[in-house]
Structure 1
Amino acid sequence: MFRFAKILFIPLFLFGVMFLSCRKFEEFPIEPVIQYENFLLEYNPETGKTERGVLMFSYTDGDGDLGLGPNELYAPFNPGSKYYYNLIISYYEKQNGTFIEVPLLSWNADSAYYDTLTFNSRFPRLLKDVEDQPIQGQFSDTLFIFNPLSDYDTIKFSAYIIDRALHESNVIETPEIVRSSK
């Protein structure tokens, strides 16, 4: 009986090793690549307005160096630098038939001036302890789309990401988004 189990176990073990060794990991370029997936509008019943939307996109990166840790604040990722944010989002309004990139403004009561808002953000490291490994997945970011200072109702966003080696992804765009009070 023991000999039969040994005879059966050895071929099964070898087959398993062969199967796992033949498995190929997907290969991606070391520059991140993103693909637009969707933009979902979120209606706020308390205000009666569509105030936010969720931008969704998929990503790949050949060496997995996406995201920044909380302590990565030194050059080139220092505040105020081009690379402080690793998700770059631009906001456009359709004005007289043409999309124009416009800043979003917010009233600052302390200074009695308008401040410029940004949709750019820092997302955390996606691979915590492993480097130089292909990665792919889905990403979503909630954006405020209600602009009380604008007379235009049609907007869109563009976005790209930057990895820790400072490789910039391709740029994606949402389709036209019509804001309404409902």
Structure 2
Amino acid sequence: MKKYIYFLFLCAIFLLFSCKKKEPFSEIPAISFVSFSKINDGSGSDNQGKLTIAFQDGDGDLGLDEGDINPPFDTSSVYYYNFFVDYYKKQNGEFVLLSTMSDSRHARFPRLSDDVPESIEGELSVTLYINTYDFSTVYDTLKLECFIVDRALNHSNVIITPEIVVKKR
């Protein structure tokens, strides 16, 4: 009987210490770069690419659905979008912000969880236009700088991709 009680006691201790408490994430979203891949559309040019990031959010309020159109998420607001991208083009060895890409640079991704506050993490992929259509050269070298915003308008950290060589024609 003592062996049985001793065995149960050891099992209880083992179970108690083997369960790790899940560390909560910050309510401010955090992102990290995962990958960037060009999408082959058969044209011979690099027109689009898929950017994948990893994310963590402590209260799960990431994403917007079709019903999120009232302020501050209305179409006239910068917060209509929740995935923000700036394009930088390599010129004379330095990366310069491309203001000409402003029309197609931001995106809106759908809600990633319901309205129950909970920590979430995962990966998010967004398809972006990458061709600058400046045909003075055959290739461009770009970097993308991006961040996301949650429904409480908390901005994540900013990440920068590695260099992306784009074939323009």
TM over 0.5: yes
SS at match of 1:39: strand
Give the distance between the partners of 2:121 and 2:130, measured in 1 at CA.
28
> How far apart are the structure 1 equivalents of 2:108 and 2:145?
16
1:104 aligned residue (100, 104, 125): 100
Question: Which segments of 5 or more consecutive residues in structure 2 lack a partner in the other structure?
Answer: 1-7
Aligned to 1:50: 46
Alignment partner of 1:179: what SS? strand
Is residue 2:127 matched to residue 1:142? yes
Correspondence for 1:119: 105
Aligned to 1:69: 65
**Structure 2 residue 74 is the aligned partner of structure 1 residue 78:** yes
Alignment length (residue pairs) = 155
The one-character-per-residue Cα deviations of 1:132-175 (angstroms, maximum 9, x if unpaired) are: 10000001111121222253611111110000111000000111
Normalised by the length of structure 1, the TM-score is 0.75
- Partners of 2:47 and 2:73 lie apart in 1 by 31
The offset of 1:23, in angstroms, is: 5.5
Secondary structure at 2:111 match in 1: coil
Match of 2:146 in 1: 159
2:28 to 26, 31, 36: 31
Give unmatched runs, 5+ long, in structure 1: 1-10, 106-115
Cα displacement (A) at 1:43: 2.9
> Is contact 1:104–1:118 with CA below 8 Å preserved after alignment?
no
Cα–Cα, structure 1 residues 150 and 175, in superposed 2: closer, same or farther, change >3 Å? farther
The answer as to whether partners of 2:46 and 2:167 remain within 8 angstroms in 1 is yes
| Distance in structure 1 (CA, Å) of the matches to 2:154 and 2:136 | 37
Tell me how far apart the structure 2 counterparts of residues 82 and 169 of structure 1 sit (CA, whole Å).
15
**CA RMSD after TM alignment:** 2.4
Calculate percent identity across the aligned residue pairs: 39
Conserved? CA contact 2:89–2:95, under 8 Å: yes
Letter in 2 for 1:126: L
